């Protein structure tokens, strides 16, 4: 199981500088990649976006980068221009009849004497892409770590849901007899005050109808099936299961609501309330599952 959230960072050296890339993933129903790069790396935004979309599934992914160190090409002296400028200065000195050396510092004022070699564009692209892939892998690793914790929590809550369903099934098995006794007692009290009589067959028909309306076997069977499917999805590993877990919890919620409308029993009402609360906690937790 993978968590929806995660963080990863990577640094790749390029020349005298380093490209540092960070990737953050937050909850989102779909995959939403947002890349923010400094001007010096702006040309590589589409490559970073493509790498993130290939490696990540779902979530709002924010990718940012920065450059640490001086990202400059090598400074090169234009020797021919320097010689020509120096010779011109020497010639001017001689023409003026001056008897002093020409300082090299004068060359610093000559425009275009120094030039910066162009950076290796391919090396920069490879560094940015390498950092993007490494950051995404680190993000996925954190997702797996957090996902393992989520899986453990959901297993515990699922076990509690199954325990509550077992208690409901056990007590629901004797509801028919309790309904029959309760109905007989109520009718006997009414008949005693009126002196009327009731056909025993009609009483059994009413009891049978009441028991049929309160039969929870179908809902409990479906709850058991949903719980088994939920447990299987938790154990699928790195496969995205969040949406399927959400669907199963929706179905469980419907079954519990139906159970609550069918069963009129004080003890089971408490179980129903606890069951609903546990499912709600699971639903909130599943929002964090990829």
Q: pLDDT for 18-73, tens place per residue?
A: 999 999 999 998 899 999 999 888 889 999 999 999 999 889 999 999 998 876 55
Backbone angles phi, psi at 216, to 5 degrees: -105, 10
**Measured between alpha carbons, how far is 119 from 245 in angstroms, rounded to an integer?**
50
Q: pLDDT averaged over the chain? A: 86
Geometric angle at alpha carbon 228, from 227 and 229, rounded to 5°: 90
Using 50, 70 and 90 to split pLDDT, how confident is the model at 118?
very low
Backbone angles phi, psi at 32, to 5 degrees: -130, 100
What is the predicted pLDDT for the residue at 238? 78
CB 259 within 8 A of CB 220: yes
Q: Pick the closest to residue 5 from 147, 112, 184 (CA basis).
A: 147
Is pLDDT at 211 greater than 70 in this prediction?
Answer: no
Q: Distances from the Cα of 1 to the Cαs of 60, 94, 133, 138, 234, in angstroms?
A: 18, 84, 21, 16, 6
Least confident of 38-42, 272-276, 286-290: 38-42
Neighbours of 140 (CB within 10 A): 21
Q: pLDDT for 230-271, tens place per residue?
A: 999 999 877 889 999 999 999 999 999 988 887 777 778 888
Least confident of 46-60, 92-106, 152-166, 190-204: 190-204
């Amino acid at each position: 199981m993978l968590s929806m959230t995660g963080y990863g960072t990577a640094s790749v050296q390029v020349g005298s500088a380093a490209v540092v890339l960070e990737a953050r993933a937050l909850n989102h129903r779909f995959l939403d990649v947002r890349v923010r790069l400094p001007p010096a790396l702006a040309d590589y935004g589409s490559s970073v976006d493509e790498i993130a979309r290939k490696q990540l599934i779902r979530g709002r992914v924010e990718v940012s980068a920065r450059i640490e160190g001086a990202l400059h090409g090598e400074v090169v002296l234009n020797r021919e221009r320097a010689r020509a400028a120096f010779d011109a200065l020497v010639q001017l000195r001689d023409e003026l009849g001056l008897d002093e050396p020409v300082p090299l510092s004068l060359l610093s004022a000559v425009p275009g004497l120094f030039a910066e070699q162009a950076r290796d564009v391919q090396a920069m692209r490879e560094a940015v892409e390498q950092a993007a892939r490494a950051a995404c892998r680190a993000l996925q690793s954190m997702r797996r770590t957090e996902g393992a914790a989520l899986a453990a929590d959901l297993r515990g809550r699922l076990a509690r849901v199954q325990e509550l369903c077992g208690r409901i099934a056990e007590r629901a098995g004797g509801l028919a007899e309790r309904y029959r006794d309760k109905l007989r007692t109520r009718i006997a009290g009414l008949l005693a005050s009126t002196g009327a009589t009731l056909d025993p067959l009609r009483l059994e028909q009413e009891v049978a109808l009441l028991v049929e309306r309160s039969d929870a076997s179908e809902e409990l069977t479906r709850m058991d099936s949903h719980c088994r499917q939920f447990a299987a999805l938790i154990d699928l590993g790195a496969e995205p299961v969040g949406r399927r877990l959400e669907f199963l919890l929706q179905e469980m919620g419907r079954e519990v609501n139906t159970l609550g409308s069918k069963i009129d029993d004080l003890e089971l009402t408490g179980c129903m309330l606890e069951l609903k609360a546990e499912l709600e906690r699971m639903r909130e937790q599943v929002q964090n599952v990829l």
